[in-house]
């Protein structure tokens, strides 16, 4: 199994390859490897010692998603979701192009136990950050079988 720094570097490389620069997005953030604990709405999330934040989408203080090298965290108003990447089965990203002048969309990750975890992504160019962060992590982290 790959280490967290290795997963981080591979995901960031994929994000950089597929995302149009500049990375000055309104709601989407890409984290540097030395950022051990993101601030703001993410302060109360306890990461494992080796876990590294990859990217996030913050719509507001009640709607956000954080992707790390091991898990995804989403706050959707009153609901909080957490899932391990190793448990991911599929993901759907919805209208990520932002057709109709939509600023963000909610995608869905299905786990092997049929549980669903929502995640937020900013539409347009910024959508590639979360899409390729998730897709790459799912490809390189061994997935549990049904």
22-50 pLDDT tens trace: 888 999 999 887 666 677 778 788 889 99
CATH of the domain at 27: 2.30.29.30
Which residues form the domain of 79? 4-140
Residue pLDDT, tens place only, 63-96: 999 999 999 999 999 899 999 999 988 887 777 7
What global pTM score does this model have?
A: 0.90
* Residue 43 belongs to some domain of the structure: yes
Domain presence at residue 102? yes
Number of domains within the chain: 1
Has residue 145 been placed in a domain?
A: no
Mean pLDDT of the chain: 88
Q: Is residue 91 part of a domain?
A: yes
pLDDT at 59: 95
Q: Is the pLDDT of residue 15 over 70?
A: yes
Using only the alpha carbons of the chain, give its radius of gyration. Answer: 14
Name the pLDDT band for 102 (thresholds 50, 70, 90).
Answer: confident
Residue 81, classed as helix, strand or coil, is strand
Measured torsion, CA atoms of residues 107, 46, 19, 144, in degrees rounded to the nearest 10: -60
Using CA atoms, how far apart are residues 94 and 40, in angstroms rounded to an integer?
A: 27
- In the prediction, which pLDDT does 44 show? 82
Query: What is the rounded distance in angstroms from the CA atom of residue 125 to the CA atom of residue 115?
Result: 29
């Amino acid at each position: 199994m790959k280490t967290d720094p290795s997963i981080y570097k591979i995901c960031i490389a994929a994000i950089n390859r597929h995302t149009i620069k500049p990375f000055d997005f309104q709601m989407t953030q890409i984290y540097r490897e030395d950022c051990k604990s993101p601030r703001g709405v993410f302060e109360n999330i306890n990461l494992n010692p080796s876990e590294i934040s990859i990217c996030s989408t913050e719509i507001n203080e009640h709607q956000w998603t954080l992707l790390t090298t091991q898990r995804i965290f989403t706050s959707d108003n009153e609901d909080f979701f957490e899932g391990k990447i190793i448990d991911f089965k599929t993901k759907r990203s919805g209208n990520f192009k932002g057709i109709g002048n939509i600023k963000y969309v909610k995608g869905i990750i299905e786990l092997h136990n049929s549980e669903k975890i929502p995640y937020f992504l900013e539409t347009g160019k910024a959508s590639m950050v979360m899409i390729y962060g998730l897709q790459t992590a799912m490809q390189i982290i061994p997935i549990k079988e049904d």
